[in-house]
Amino acid sequence: MKTNVYVLYGGKSAEHEVSLKTATAILNALDKEKYNVYPVFITKEGIWCSLGLLTHKINNVEELQATSNEPISNSIGRFLTEVLKEGENNIVFPALHGTFGEDGTIQGLLELLDIPYVGNEVLSSAVGMDKVIMKDVFVRHNLPVTNYTSMKLHVWKEDKEKAYREIEEKLAYPYYVKPANLGSSVGVSRAENREELEKAVIEAFKYDTKIIIEEELIAREMQVSVIGNDYPKASVPGEFIMERPFFDYNAKYIDGKIIPVIPARLEPDVSQKVRELAVKAFKAINCYGLARVDIFVTDDNEIYINEINTMPGFTALSMSPALWKATDGTSYSELIEKLLEFGFERYRQKKAILRTR
């Protein structure tokens, strides 16, 4: 009997469109002779729409979208009763980025439903999604990070002048200001002075009620893919040729002008240290399955963790699949196969745990 793979994508997130690109690549890579593949589109309102059994190649993201006006709870109930094949070999692949997908919420639902799924669990997803908590954990594990501070919306509203002053007392300009719980560079701004800081804070608070402010570090950013469960492995590092001070959303997903360099231009010993640090970051927040760790390397070969992405992009422009191709020849389809295997392996581990006395 074929395994049923349910790919969830879209979602109530500012990264909705990125998720469509990721889902397209995953759906096309899954072997239809081996798997029954079911695309499940989640609208921007949170409504689940099943597109039925997929038998053909997806040529554009418009094919993966649908509309529905039924209540969210009804749509999820319809998925569970009419789409999910009870009693068969099922696994969910959450191709979701950002809030309500990469933050532990969908993972919690799948845990309650006792359904195997690909990738990180509730804890690692939530910690990895919140850049402030993530860096707090890295610091607790003595892992190097750039200087940072955070601010909540209500504190800023109470006394904006005091809030700006406290940031300036803790950190030196220039800063990067980001929503705490978002990715794909959405809502991220660079600030060189108070005027730019004020604009950056306003922009970041559009997307979250907590923001992180980080000191700029003059360095190159490396990306390392880590996969596995109990014994995770790191890919060779890769990097992008920088044409801008930082890669915003347009540079990553729209302009198509970013140039990947794999392996990254590093001395062998530095490359090895970067890979080891990536695995330590993966373990520090209790990751399973996959993650991409972004790491800064200065001209003096000082190394700092920027962040960890618990559901990294798998679009045509994404770094993670290319990193594994360069590391050991793993193809895109083979990488997807491995992630499915890790999902089933972790599910079996958890099923063996006693839940009663």
280-314 pLDDT per residue, tens = 999 999 999 999 999 999 999 999 999 999 999 88
Q: What average pLDDT score do residues 234-260 get?
A: 68
DSSP string, 200-252: HHHHHTTT-SEEEEEE---SEEEEEEEEESSS-EE---EEEE-SSSS--HHHH
For the segment(s) 3-117, the CATH number from 3.90.1150.10, 3.40.50.20, 3.40.50.2300, 3.30.1120.10 is 3.40.50.20
What tokens does 338 get?
Answer: 């491995």
* Topology at the third CATH level for domain 220-351: D-amino Acid Aminotransferase; Chain A, domain 1 (3.30.470)
Reply yes or no on whether the pLDDT at 86 is more than 70.
yes
Q: What's the alpha-carbon Rg for the chain, to the nearest Å?
A: 20
- Residue 238's DSSP bridge partners are 223
CA nearest 276: which of 210, 336, 224? 224
How far is Cα 81 from Cα 67, in angstroms, rounded to an integer? 19
DSSP, collapsed to helix, strand or coil, labels residue 69 as coil
Please enumerate in sequence order all residues whose Cβ is within 8 A of that of 33, keeping only pairs 6 or more positions apart, or say none.
none
Mean pLDDT of the 132-149 span: 98
Above 90 in pLDDT, residue 255? no
Q: Which helix (H) or strand (E) holds 295?
A: strand 289-297
Rounded to 5°, the CA angle 104-109-111 comes to 90
Residue type, 20: L
* Among 134-148, 272-286, 307-321, 343-357, the least confident range: 307-321
Domain boundaries defined on the chain:
3-117, 147-215, 220-351
Question: Which residue's entry shows tokens 């490396």?
Answer: 222
Q: Which residue has the tokens 């389809």?
A: 333
Confidence of residue 241 (pLDDT cuts 50, 70, 90): confident
Query: What percentage of residues in the chain have a pLDDT greater than 90?
Result: 87
How far, in Å, CA of 92 to CA of 343, rounded?
9
C-alpha pair distances (Å), 106 with each of 11, 123, 217, 285, 286: 10, 12, 34, 18, 17
Class of domain 147-215: alpha beta
pLDDT-derived band at 183, boundaries 50, 70, 90? low
Give the helix/strand (H/E) hosting 349. helix 332-351
β-partners of residue 174 are none
Q: Distance (Å, rounded) from C-alpha 36 to C-alpha 3?
A: 6
Structure tokens at 31: 């072997």
